Structure 1
Amino acid sequence: MAVASTSLASQLSGPKSLPQSYSGLRRSCPKLDHSHSHSHSLYQHLHSHLSLSSSRKASRAVVAMAGTGKFFVGGNWKCNGTKDSISKLVSDLNSAKLEADVDVVVAPPFLYLDQVKSSLTDRIELSGQNSWVGKGGAFTGEISVEQLKDIGCKWVILGHSERRHVIGEDDQFIGKKAAYALNEGLGVIACIGEKLEEREAGKTFDICFQQLKAFADAVPSWENIVIAYEPVWAIGTGKVASPQQAQEVHVAVRDWLKKNVSAEVASKTRIIYGGSVNGGNSAELAKEEDIDGFLVGGASLKGPEFATIVNAVTSKKVAA
């Protein structure tokens, strides 16, 4: 289902191909330095599953992605909405024409999960925005995995930057949450991403790999995990990582999974981008081989715009 990119070789050929604006990402990441040997191995890894199939017919379209999973778009409604506004949003989503080749998930506030479940089309699955680290009990204000499942959720978002940097959850705690959710049968949207000062210090990969390791150390399997790369400096700020910046990190994440988990997990795990994604920029972002979808914030509160983002999958469709 994947197709080779003629631009990948030039992107991975050496330091000169990196835009000056983000070349500093590699200063403190020797594992991902663009030495000849690393570039060659990363190039080989990507092209091992980006090969053209000579047996394809020109009459059908396929979705071209580096990974082998289905395009995935999640809408994180965060702490927004009232019964009336959510009723309107659900109505818009129910009437939207969504491409069939996409897994679509929305995460309403906990208070409105039941309302959304009872009125939203089955085409769109439900997610919690957070869950407790273990079985429910005397944990005032928390929501358990069992409760999320009981109300109809299939997914939960864990490790979002607001939970990390506003609420104060650390990597290991988030990893334990993910392990518990997966063990109980929920899919996990596992968020990673660096703050602005970390990017400017050239620590983007260090931070993302540290957060990935905390998941890898804890989870029983990667089968029901979607990784969401969300640079903190781009969330709700209107600043968006360029397609090339996002692609670079997604390639590095996939390479980390190959080296530290397995080649199969690296291929199958979907890596989606989040950070001020909207109807105007989603198509260009979706064109990148390793961007397997989006986790959308503010724009997911607007039904027609969210549908546009879902349908950005068409930017990946090529004649085959």
Structure 2
Amino acid sequence: MPTNLLALNWKMNKTPSEARAWVGELTAQLPATAAELAIMAPAIALPAVAAELQGSALAIGGQDVSAHESGAYTGEISAAMLRDVGATYVIVGHSERRTYHAETSQVVAGKAAATIAGGLVPIVCVGEGLDVREKGEHVAYTLDQLRDSLAQVSLEGAHQLVIAYEPVWAIGTGKTATAQDAEELAAAIREALRGLYRDYADDVRILYGGSVKPGNIAEICTQPNVNGALVGGASLDVASVVGMAAALV
């Protein structure tokens, strides 16, 4: 079974100086854990985070990436730029990007392909809103979104994938899908990945994201097809991150 990944998505929080101080505080308190930790910081803070983590086992990653390798794309950041500052991962297609920036699954597919071509691991996000879940269409909706978002990822690129299932209705709301809800979708995603990538699918890590905290992370991540968490709000608090890392033994 793949190692659990705890991806800490800071979203638009922490200046570079705040980020460096926070990371210093975390590394001084971080317990032994079986999970891999990755700090998904704002792009402007990544060099400061990388400097503070030098010699550490913790990874860093971006929160978004361009589908383009380089060129006249003002404000965008390429996979090569992220890799050059030490990034390993990048979040692709987060629900906030899909909602606030009108990113379609076709756009997400281009970003996922560019991420892999650029030598990074994409954390491809999929998940449904409350209206879809209340209609009982959450599995079909999420799997359609998954297939469309991976349309440009080849069989050869599949071993570099991470998928994050994020029920949109549980992000930042305090509502949390149950461990059984998380496993239902993770198992469906795993089966869909087998249809796309055959045996590679068993090595793809599937994360759960949506109001994850120290009190529920262990139950969620011990489900057969859940291999970690994409953490939002709780990732900003050192004590919460320490608690989550300690729970994943």
| Structure-1-length-normalised TM-score | 0.74
Number of residues of Structure 1 aligned to a counterpart in Structure 2: 246
**1:239–1:276 CA contact under 8 A, matched in 2:** yes
- What SS does the corresponding residue of 1:288 show, helix, strand or coil? coil
**2:30–2:242 CA contact under 8 A, matched in 1:** yes
- 1:142 equivalenced with 2:76 (yes/no): yes
Residue of structure 1 in register with 2:39 after alignment:
106
- What SS does the corresponding residue of 1:217 show, helix, strand or coil? coil
Q: Which runs of 5+ in 2 are unaligned?
A: none
Render the CA deviation track for 1:2-35: whole Å, top value 9, x for unaligned.
Answer: xxxxxxxxxxxxxxxxxxxxxxxxxxxxxxxxxx
- What SS does the corresponding residue of 1:260 show, helix, strand or coil? helix
**1:286–1:312 CA contact under 8 A, matched in 2:** no
Residue of structure 1 in register with 2:175 after alignment:
239
Residue of structure 1 in register with 2:213 after alignment:
278
Identity of aligned residues (%): 37
Match of 1:305 among 228, 240, 245: 240
User: Counterpart amino acid of 2:74?
Assistant: T
User: Counterpart amino acid of 2:187?
Assistant: V
- What SS does the corresponding residue of 1:291 show, helix, strand or coil? coil
- What SS does the corresponding residue of 1:78 show, helix, strand or coil? coil
Match of 1:190 among 106, 124, 128: 124
Match of 1:155 among 77, 89, 98: 89
Larger Rg: 1
User: Counterpart amino acid of 1:172?
Assistant: Q
User: Counterpart amino acid of 1:210?
Assistant: D
- How is 1:48-63 mapped onto 2 (pairs within 5 angstroms)? none
- How is 1:282-297 mapped onto 2 (pairs within 5 angstroms)? 282-297=217-232
Looking at structure 1, the residues matched to 32 and 149 of structure 2 have their Cα atoms a distance apart, in angstroms, of: 31
Match of 1:128 among 62, 66, 72: 62
- What SS does the corresponding residue of 1:236 show, helix, strand or coil? coil
- What do you get for the CA RMSD once the two structures are aligned? 1.4
Looking at structure 2, the residues matched to 79 and 97 of structure 1 have their Cα atoms a distance apart, in angstroms, of: 23
Q: Note the C-alpha offset of 1:84.
A: 4.2
Residue of structure 2 in register with 1:229 after alignment:
165
Q: Note the C-alpha offset of 1:165.
A: 1.0
Match of 1:254 among 181, 190, 209: 190
Match of 1:268 among 190, 203, 206: 203
**1:216–1:261 CA contact under 8 A, matched in 2:** no
- What SS does the corresponding residue of 1:218 show, helix, strand or coil? coil
Q: Note the C-alpha offset of 1:251.
A: 1.0
Looking at structure 2, the residues matched to 112 and 285 of structure 1 have their Cα atoms a distance apart, in angstroms, of: 30
Q: Note the C-alpha offset of 1:260.
A: 3.3
Residue of structure 1 in register with 2:50 after alignment:
117
Residue of structure 1 in register with 2:111 after alignment:
177
Render the CA deviation track for 1:116-149: whole Å, top value 9, x for unaligned.
Answer: 1111252111101000001122111111111111
- What SS does the corresponding residue of 2:6 show, helix, strand or coil? strand
| Structure-2-length-normalised TM-score | 0.94
Q: Note the C-alpha offset of 1:98.
A: 3.7
Residue of structure 2 in register with 1:33 after alignment:
none
**2:16–2:44 CA contact under 8 A, matched in 1:** no
Q: Note the C-alpha offset of 1:265.
A: 2.1
Looking at structure 1, the residues matched to 33 and 160 of structure 2 have their Cα atoms a distance apart, in angstroms, of: 20
Q: Which runs of 5+ in 1 are unaligned?
A: 1-67, 315-320
> Structure 1: which 4+ aligned runs deviate by more than 4 Å?
none
Looking at structure 2, the residues matched to 141 and 274 of structure 1 have their Cα atoms a distance apart, in angstroms, of: 27
**1:105–1:125 CA contact under 8 A, matched in 2:** yes
Match of 1:90 among 23, 26, 31: 23
Render the CA deviation track for 1:151-199: whole Å, top value 9, x for unaligned.
Answer: 1111110010001111100001101110011012111111110011011
Looking at structure 1, the residues matched to 33 and 138 of structure 2 have their Cα atoms a distance apart, in angstroms, of: 34
Looking at structure 2, the residues matched to 204 and 177 of structure 1 have their Cα atoms a distance apart, in angstroms, of: 24
- What SS does the corresponding residue of 1:223 show, helix, strand or coil? helix
Residue of structure 2 in register with 1:71 after alignment:
4
User: Counterpart amino acid of 2:161?
Assistant: I
Looking at structure 2, the residues matched to 282 and 232 of structure 1 have their Cα atoms a distance apart, in angstroms, of: 18
